[in-house]
Structure 1
Amino acid sequence: MDVIAFERSAQGTGASRRLRRAGKTPGIVYGTGEPQVIELDHNALFHALRKEAFHASILNLKVGDGASQQVLLRDVQYHPFKPLVLHVDFLRVDASRVLHTKVPVHYLNQEGSPAVKLSGGVITHVLYDLDIVCLPSALPEFVEVDLANFTIGQSVHAKEVKLPTGVTLAPAFAQENPVIVTATAPAAILSAEDAAADDSEAAPAA
């Protein structure tokens, strides 16, 4: 994705407020080389931020008449209650250095899984992204988890996700190995099972 920005000369709280009133959003590019303060068109940025790929893909950032540079979106600050982007941070990407970032998870075939179709179960997405490391050239836009054979009581841990070639879980995340999705029985069935268990415990011994 291409991102157009312009160099920003004025800095500070007052300058940032003036930029926002003019329909611009202040930002910064950091990483290899000197930090570069920039400004972007707010409306274009706001709409771009609604796209998943903008958060998880390598972006081609062009500042003014300069050459394009590859960056990752690293941080976004929003207004507490207004639809307003206050500030954005981008990280320059070095093709030879491993990235540590997050990648979205897409869950497939949920409604057709035995847990839902046969048992009326509830599938809970515990995590919506994975913490990964890879070279920039191997960065996927997303990873997929196929739930076609998912059954009641089943869960998937991070280490069970099939990752693209060249992509691995970040070491600390892999060690934690959290559950990312679960399938549980409907509340009505669980309530009936609890009631049956209570009746069994209350029944006098023969």
Structure 2
Amino acid sequence: MKFVAYTRELQGTGASRRLRISGKVPGIVFGAKEPQMIEIDHNALFHALKKESFHSSILDMELAGAVEQVILRDVQMHPFKQLVLHVDFQRVDATTRIRKKVPLHFVGEENSQAVKLDGCLINHVITELEIECLAQKLPEFLNVDVSGLAKGQSLHVDDLQLGAGVKVVLHGKKNPVVATVVAPVVEEVVVAAPAPAAAAPAKGKGKK
């Protein structure tokens, strides 16, 4: 993906506030060279942030007539308005090694024995993973094939097929569960017993 940025001359809280009022977003690009203060059109950035690939792939940033490769590092949003307050990018090249969270795409659920034959559901325990790799090998997402899962089984990080040079950063966790099969819930219907009929009064009683 490609986006256009512009050099930001003024800094400070007041300058950033005026920038946002004019429909721009203040930002910064760091890494490899000196940090560069930038500004980006808010609407263009807001719509780009809705795309999954903008968060987990290498981007081409056009700045002052030159194109640099960057990745998105941080986005600050307004607490309740649909407003981007600040954005950070990192320059990357063929030798840059990065850590980045990428989304998981689950495939093959409809073909799994657990779903087809046993009526189970597959619970997505983890929806993204932090990986470490060269920037040029950064995958946009990781496919998680759950077609082989049967009732009572789970899929772990060690079961995932990763590209060459890509490894998962677990932060001390040991082979966490990515997806697990959940058995269908059987609802027990309780039928209430009918209330006993009231006994008829004996003849000759109840009336005077």
The TM-score bracket by the shorter chain reads 0.7 to 0.9
The CA deviation at 1:171 is 6.0
Whether the 8 Å contact between 1:130 and 1:158 is mirrored in structure 2 is no
Provide closer, same or farther for how the CA distance between residues 25 and 124 of structure 1 changes in structure 2, counting only shifts above 3 A.
same
The percentage of aligned residue pairs carrying the same residue is 53
The question of whether the paired residues in 2 share the 8 Å contact of 1:115 and 1:183 is answered with yes
Which deviates more, 94-103 or 81-90? 94-103
State the Cα distance separating 1:97 from its structure 2 match.
2.7
Query: Which residue of the partner structure matches residue 199 of structure 1?
Result: none
- Return the alpha-carbon distance in structure 2 between the equivalents of residues 16 and 158 of structure 1: 42
Contact 1:58 1:136 in 2 (8 A): yes
How far apart are residue 170 of structure 1 and its match? 2.5
Deviations 1:56-82 (A, max 9, x none): 1011111132x2111110111111111
**1:49 paired residue number:** 49
CA distance in 2, matches of 1:12, 1:36: 14
Cα separation, 2, equivalents of 1:105 and 1:119:
25
35-44 or 177-186: which moved more? 177-186
Partner of residue 182, structure 1: 180
Is 1:75–1:89's contact at 8 Å kept on the other side of the alignment? Answer: yes
Q: Identify, as 1 or 2, the structure richer in helix.
A: 1
Match of 2:206 in 1: none
Displaced runs of 4 or more, over 6 A: none
Q: Which whole-Å CA distance do the structure 1 matches of 2:42 and 2:119 have between them?
A: 44
- Check conservation: 1:4, 1:64, Cα contact below 8 A: no
SS at match of 1:35: strand
Find the counterpart in structure 1 of residue 193 from structure 2: none
Residue 171 of structure 2 is aligned to residue 165 of structure 1: no
Aligned ranges for residues 77-92 of structure 1 at < 5 Å? 77-92=76-91
Q: Number of residue pairs matched? A: 189
Answer yes or no: is 1:141 the counterpart of 2:140.
yes
Deviates more, 1:149-158 or 1:23-32: 149-158
Asked whether the equivalents of residues 8 and 39 of structure 1 are also in contact (C-alpha less than 8 Å), the reply is yes
Distance in 2 separating the partners of 1:58 and 1:114? 37
2:18 corresponding residue in structure 1 = 18
Q: Which has the larger radius of gyration?
A: 2
1:31 and 1:163 map into 2 onto residues whose CA distance is 27
- Give the equivalent residue in structure 2 for 1:93: 92
- 1:115 partner SS: helix
TM superposition score normalised by structure 2: 0.84
The 2-side partners of 1:142 and 1:111 are apart by 20
* CA displacement at 1:146 relative to structure 2: 1.0
Instruction: Find the counterpart in structure 1 of residue 39 from structure 2.
Output: 39
RMSD: 1.8
Please state how far the C-alpha of 1:172 moved relative to its aligned partner. Answer: 3.1
> Could you tell me which residue of structure 2 aligns to residue 63 of structure 1?
63
* Structure 1 gaps, min length 5: 193-206
The corresponding residue for 2:29 is: 29
State the distance in 1 between where 2:116 and 2:81 align.
40
Q: Secondary structure at the match of 2:147?
A: coil
Normalising by structure 1, report the TM-score: 0.85
